Amino acid sequence: MTPLGGPSAPDAPVGRVRSRLPAARRRTQLLDAAATLLGREGAAAEAVTMEAVAAEAGVSKALLYRYFDNADDLMMALAAREMSQVAEKVRAAMERSTGFEESIRASLAAWFDVLSERGGVVVALLGAPALSGALGARRRALRAMIGESYTERAASAFRLDPDLAGIATTTLLAGLEGLIDCWVERRAPRRQLVDIYTTMCLAAYQALAEQPPVIGDLH
């Protein structure tokens, strides 16, 4: 034991002690710091620098570079995490629904829940030009997952040809970004947006069931 007033032990910490976290938890901490910056500032993704993230997380830049090559790498990892969480929430909501209309409302509710909780982060990521490629692939995957469920349920509920139902679904999902834009810009209440979009979907499938288009071979 070091005598009172004697020299410190060789390995005694100097200044603030940085806890040693497992790699997975440290990576999560760093991504959370980047998300906090986006959410707090409402800033463009380009404003989230390695210096700012390190400061927010309370770590050195050297440690941050052990996990991410640069700011773009960090932001792509954050985008992957956020979009994966969106997909999981939407998928779970749709799996819990029983009817077609309910599945539409459930998927929209999941989207709006995410935007309510993490809207600043998601919107900033979606608006980042440097992430368009990586985000585009994940958004297409999410849309394909929702589209597959909509198509299957619409074909069954309205007795539609699956190919025709698929075309209608793809067209309807293209308008989902406009709906989300209305929510982000606060131009309409959430419940009204859900009602409008659900009504449009049901009306479109019903119209196709009552009067299928004469377009020849769908293939």
pLDDT digits 0-9 by tens, 86-144: 888 988 999 999 889 999 999 999 988 888 887 778 777 766 666 666 667 777 788 88
More confident residue, 70 or 218: 70
User: What is the total count of domains within the chain?
Assistant: 1
For residue 155, being part of any structural domain is answered with yes
Would residue 35 count as lying in a domain? Answer: no
**Mean local confidence (pLDDT), 43-70:** 89
Q: Residue 52 domain-assigned?
A: no
Position 198 scores a pLDDT of: 96
Q: Indicate whether 85 belongs to any domain.
A: yes
| pLDDT greater than 50 at residue 16 | no
pLDDT at 19: 57
**Domain limits for position 163:** 75-210
| 59 domain-assigned | no
Most confidently modeled of 14-18, 98-102, 206-210? 206-210
Average pLDDT in the 17-35 region? Answer: 84
Asked whether residue 89 is assigned to any structural domain, the reply reads: yes
CATH number at residue 161: 1.10.357
The separation between CA 98 and the C-alpha centre of its own chain, rounded to angstroms, equals 24
* Contact status, residue 53 vs residue 34, Cβ threshold 8 Å: yes
Residue 92 pLDDT: 92
Mean pLDDT throughout 159-167?
A: 94
60 in a domain, yes or no? no
pLDDT value of position 10: 41
**63 in a domain, yes or no?**
no
